Amino acid sequence: MSNVNSSGSQGSVLSGSIWMIVISVLLFWLPGVGGFISGLVGGKIAGGVGSALAAWLVSSILFGVLFAAFGTMLTGMIVVGFIAGLGGLFIAFIDAGARLLGAIIGGFLA
């Protein structure tokens, strides 16, 4: 299976993971469905199933880092911010399963 999408350009793991993050943030109010849509779009942009899985992994890691960093910045205390970030990360993990399913399907559609 080729890593070239319908427009003739190759997919990118980084651009797929960025799309997953952006769409997940924009569709946060649709738990599960928003993650599935972001995974579908990101997997299609990534260009294949393997690239889609890598994009999903990168986006999940970035979500965790961003939650911990933003939690620390908002509180000004490292320990409290880290604990708040872990709470946000738990919420993001609920959405990660739907994002993974969407990424696999989007990878097959690419």
How confident is the model over 63-78, as pLDDT tens digits?
Answer: 877 877 777 787 777 7
| Four-CA torsion 47, 52, 58, 60, nearest 10 degrees | 140
Confidence category of residue 2, pLDDT binned at 50, 70, 90: very low
Question: Could you report how far apart the first and last alpha carbons of the chain are, in Å?
Answer: 10
User: Is 94 a domain residue?
Assistant: yes
| Residue 47 structure tokens | 């260009």
The number of folded domains in the chain is 1
If you search the block for the tokens 């994002």, which residue do you land on? 99
pTM exceeds cut of 0.85? no
User: Is 3 a domain residue?
Assistant: no
State pLDDT tens for residues 51-61. 999 999 888 88
User: Is 58 a domain residue?
Assistant: yes
Beta carbons within 8 Å of 55's beta carbon, 6+ residues apart: 13, 14, 16, 17, 20, 42, 43, 45, 46, 103
Confidence category of residue 1, pLDDT binned at 50, 70, 90: very low
Closest residue by Cα to residue 35 from 101, 95, 103: 95
User: Is 5 a domain residue?
Assistant: no
User: Is 35 a domain residue?
Assistant: yes
Beta carbons within 8 Å of 102's beta carbon, 6+ residues apart: 35, 36, 37, 38, 39, 40, 41, 42, 43
Range of the domain at 53: 13-109
